[in-house]
Amino acid sequence: MTLVTYEQPRGNIRLRRQIARLMFRQGTTCSPDEIVVTSGCTEALNLAIRSVAKPGDVVGVESPGCYEMLQALEALQLRALEFPHHPRVGVDLERLEDAARQHRLKAIMLNGSCQNPLGDCIPDANKAAIVEFATKREIALIESDTFGELVFDGTRPRTLKAFDTDGIVLQCSSLAHYLAPGFNLGWIQAGRWQAEVERLKSFTNVASARLTQLALAEFLECGAFEKHLKQLRVALWRSVEATRDEVLRTFPPGTRVNQPEGGFVLWIQLPDRYNGLEIQRRAAAERIHILAGEWFSPTRRYRNYIRISCGHPFEVIQPAVRTIAGILNDESSPSGRERTVS
């Protein structure tokens, strides 16, 4: 009968012990009691934002940045202040300093390892500098770390949390992209906002489901996770590389594609004449799911960008890529341009 009773709000202790072990591999030392299990990373991000800010507050976001973060800010009526994310560098600290002098930043939301959608990793020195800046300014750092285990070379990057000695970083993570997406389990380690996160979790949904937590704890305890990760990284690398080659081969001349260090998404810059939202709409009509670049910016930048996922074997993805290429070639014809304008 204990399997069908409510779990405690923090989450199952067996699972939290395994999460603490995973975080140790990322360079962070924490107790299982400092972890709150959530219904995926989306809930973790929502709990983090609600813990540090209230409607009308200003939150810094990187651009392009994870659209789930931007959706959460919009739903919670917060103002997003955009900072460029430079590949393999991160956000510009001088821009952050200027913004902190002009605005009362309550938080900064970042994705430092296998960034979504660029797939790059910020160097450790830059991560340490960002944490030092936030600590000095008393600005909460909300870290989304959903793809960090998927670095293609197998070297797990350190998280922003690994450089945090003052509890300024709220780390939000999930295993959904590595293992059993349908379980929809994530977690948050909230530092100095731990008590507030626990309070919000307790009256938001009481606790995450016990049965799925026990199943995931069992898998992590048996030691199969590392073997699974090694196989997954190789499979994703092959899919990403093959899809990238196919995009460069079949998409219109002038198309540019990022070279991710990990994860499974490609960020594609199309020639200026294309509208990403129109391409997304036409792909959806063919039952192909892509995202327009505008979703990754609070000011609707990246009009001629799209993001595509490579989470399936290339043999599954290739027909969809060729269909999108056909849409793009049609859009570049005189009649296609006419439809876009109208």
Residues 90 and 199 placed together within one structural domain of the fold: yes
Residues 157 and 306 placed together within one structural domain of the fold: no
Kindly tell me the burial class for residue 56, based on how many C-beta atoms sit within 10 Å of its own C-beta (0-12, 13-18, 19 or more): exposed
Residues 215 and 264 placed together within one structural domain of the fold: no
Cα(111)–Cα(141) distance, rounded to whole angstroms?
A: 10
pLDDT at 332: 63
Q: Among the ranges 23-32, 129-138, 197-206, which has the highest mean pLDDT value? A: 129-138
Residue type (1 letter), 192: R
pLDDT at 177: 83
Of 222, 248, 274, the residue at which a domain comes to its end is: 222
pLDDT at 9: 85
Q: Each residue of 243-253: pLDDT tens digit?
A: 999 999 999 99
3-state helix, strand, coil in the chain (%, to 5): 50, 15, 35
Q: Each residue of 171-202: pLDDT tens digit?
A: 999 988 888 787 889 999 999 999 999 999 98
Q: What is the pTM of this model?
A: 0.92
Residues 145 and 127 placed together within one structural domain of the fold: yes
Domain range holding 237?
Answer: 226-341
pLDDT at 340: 31
Is pLDDT above 80 for 331?
no
Residues 140 and 252 placed together within one structural domain of the fold: no
Of 191, 222, 253, the residue at which a domain comes to its end is: 222
Residues 269 and 175 placed together within one structural domain of the fold: no
Residues 189 and 235 placed together within one structural domain of the fold: no
Residues 146 and 268 placed together within one structural domain of the fold: no
Residues 163 and 281 placed together within one structural domain of the fold: no
DSSP string for 110-176:
E--SS-TTT-----HHHHHHHHHHHHHHT-EEEEEESSGGGBTTS-PPPPGGGG-SSS-EEEEEEST
Tally of domains in the chain:
2
Is pLDDT above 90 for 335?
no
Residues 48 and 165 placed together within one structural domain of the fold: yes
